[in-house]
Structure 1
Amino acid sequence: MDARLDPETGRTEGASALQIDLARRILERLIDQAASIGARVSAPELARAFGVSRSPISAALDLLTEQGILAPMATRGLQVAVDVADIDPHVLLPNSPVEELYRTMMRERAQGVLPQEVSEAELMPRYGISRGLVRKLLLRFAAEGLVQRLPGHGWRFVDSLEGEDAYRESYEFRIAIECAALKSARFHADEKQLLPVRRAHERILSDRGANTAGDEWFRVNAAFHENLAACSGNRFLTEAVRQQNNLRRMQESAAFKELPADRIEQSCREHLAILDAVETGDIDWAEALLRQHLRQAADFSLPHG
């Protein structure tokens, strides 16, 4: 499949940029889950997980079927057809120009190259794209809580995590919110929801984090914190955690920071210890472990000098 797309139309050979990007995310999810050959793939479950309708998910699954990653089951549905462990999703399904432009804008905002307040008219010549595509990208940032529309034609990016004070405040907020999520009266450890998270960590631990890229670890790490918060049954706590992850994603995209393998391994083990406590019902111990984990992460992440 040729994934080089026209940035204006987002299409080539009948596949849209959204479909190709969703196909990559589905493949990443299968890899994170250490999905085995024959594992069933659920379109409704994926649609819920990615917050999109069934139509683009179905098209993305069709692309993965064309690539031989998935295959029809004897009964209705799709299953994993190959060992996904050694597949590089970004080689098989390169980022579309739209996705690359999204990442460029995020990186330039984090670096301060892109101003905090922008207009559609300013962005069109800056990136050589149409107003429609500018608006689509800004609406995506808005959906992630990273930009707000101003009166008139302007947009304002949210404050980023620049400097020691912002990082410290972010971690103080995360400790308060994530620990509150664990102690929610409606907290329920959903085994089906947490099992893929556990498998992703076990996969990374299988080589002690040595072959894990920074962006891959960020994805697995974010999924751990967001899924744990989602078990609270409180949508506002879950959204607050997701918003913090989006802010971190924006800031860290500027640095291309690669964590040392030993730090990834340590974080994996800490996450698994928290999951163990949650799944055995020892929420007080899980909260203590989570609080300590976030404090240590703050000390490691705070900018110095």
Structure 2
Amino acid sequence: MNVASAKPARSRSHIEPEDFARRLLRLFHQDGLAPGDKLSERKLAVQLSVSRTPIRAALQHLLDDGVVARNENQKWILATLPDPDPGQPTIPNDEAGGLGMRICEDRRTGVLADSFTETELLKRYDVTRTELGRALVALASDGIVERSSGYGWHFASLLDSEERRLQSYEFRIALEPAGMRMPGFRPEPLRLGHQRSLHEALVAGGYKTANPHDLFEINADFHAMLADFSGNEFIIQAMRQQNKLRRISEYATTSDPRRVLQSCREHLMIIEAVEEGDYQWASSLMERHLQTVRRVIQRNLARPG
């Protein structure tokens, strides 16, 4: 793999509050929140795998826009929920999303080094600086790339090899089904129903036109949702970290429509089992679901060359 031998010193991601605000809006929609619902800085920070500092800045940005408010106890609440991303696009824009996926795939296959400059990408992808800027801002908002201190960019720590991806799935096979067997496993009907609606729309044909970013977000929120239902903070944090790490590798799998459709159908079977209160069966279905991907990765690693 072409990785630069000397890595620049790394700094925190330079993401503007409005970018985190857009991520929060997507999260509010995915969680099925409604005006009046309470918002927890700690929970939001865990869900986005960041500290509370950027969450506070994003909430303040949304406060200025009238999207969130503070109640009589000075706690955050959702005031209104506008349509997702009605203005300036990030990854959901086809142009930015397509370029972002190419960057992710080139990193996954080792074509791109850990550190890079915008000049290098402009030469490689033959795009305008504006197009590249949109793609990088979108990738940075999703925690895939970060600005290096001083000059250039670098990829965040991610599952950028099949070996690491296999280890991740082995860990998740031990983690996720166990979370669904926890005594404190408590589903949230509204959030579960929202996920059912999203998956039914994809199975009905939406998977053919959905962009990689949206497919990943729905998939990631499905797994994060079930971890949240466990009520176990360690499982919740571990699942959030796995979602953050697997962005590059999972973006690549969304280009296979057959696998996307199969995954959505498997998710719906798990949702149905949870809705019926059969958590043991739901746990078994989750293990089978993860084992399917694990076997695919093992076959990929066994191929010569």
- Answer whether contact 2:166 2:294 (CA < 8 A) is retained: yes
Moved more, 105-114 or 126-135: 126-135
Matched residue, 1:6 = none
Matched residue, 1:291 = 287
The offset of 1:27, in angstroms, is 0.9
Paired letter, 2:149: G
- Answer whether contact 1:41 1:79 (CA < 8 A) is retained: yes
Matched residue, 1:161 = 162
The offset of 1:160, in angstroms, is 0.9
Query: Aligned match of 2:149 in 132, 137, 162?
Result: 132
What's the % identity of the aligned pairs? 24
Query: Aligned match of 1:110 in 101, 108, 111?
Result: 108
Matched residue, 2:200 = 205
1:257-284 deviations in Å (ceiling 9; x for gaps):
153574464134123124325xx3x443
> Structure 1 pair 251/217, CA: closer, same or farther in 2 (3 Å)?
same
The offset of 1:61, in angstroms, is 2.6
Paired letter, 1:35: L
SS at match of 2:149: helix
**Aligned pair 1:33/2:27, yes or no?**
no
Size of the alignment, in residue pairs?
255
> Structure 1 pair 47/290, CA: closer, same or farther in 2 (3 Å)?
closer
1:225-267 deviations in Å (ceiling 9; x for gaps):
23434527372x5565555544542224356615357446413
Paired letter, 1:222: A
RMSD: 4.7
SS at match of 1:216: helix
The offset of 1:23, in angstroms, is 0.8
1:1-305 alignment to 2 at 5 Å? 17-36=15-34, 38-44=35-41, 45-67=43-65, 70=67, 72=69, 75=72, 77-84=76-83, 87-88=84-85, 91-92=87-88, 94=90, 106-115=104-113, 131-132=148-149, 137=154, 141-142=156-157, 146=158, 160-161=161-162, 171=169, 173-183=171-181, 187-191=183-187, 195-206=190-201, 208=204, 210=206, 212-229=210-227, 231=230, 233=232, 235=234, 241-242=239-240, 244-246=242-244, 248-254=246-252, 257=255, 259=257, 262-263=261-262, 265-276=264-275, 280=277, 282-297=278-293
SS at match of 2:58: helix
- CA–CA separation in structure 2 for the residues paired with 1:159 and 1:55: 28
- CA–CA separation in structure 2 for the residues paired with 1:225 and 1:247: 14
- CA–CA separation in structure 2 for the residues paired with 1:50 and 1:173: 20
- CA–CA separation in structure 2 for the residues paired with 1:130 and 1:218: 23
- Answer whether contact 2:227 2:239 (CA < 8 A) is retained: yes
- CA–CA separation in structure 1 for the residues paired with 2:187 and 2:174: 24
- Answer whether contact 1:226 1:242 (CA < 8 A) is retained: yes
> Structure 1 pair 232/73, CA: closer, same or farther in 2 (3 Å)?
closer
- Answer whether contact 1:22 1:57 (CA < 8 A) is retained: yes
- CA–CA separation in structure 1 for the residues paired with 2:89 and 2:197: 25
Paired letter, 2:255: K
Give 5+ residue unaligned stretches, structure 2.
1-10, 123-145
Matched residue, 2:7 = none
- Answer whether contact 1:175 1:294 (CA < 8 A) is retained: yes
Give 5+ residue unaligned stretches, structure 1.
1-8, 147-157
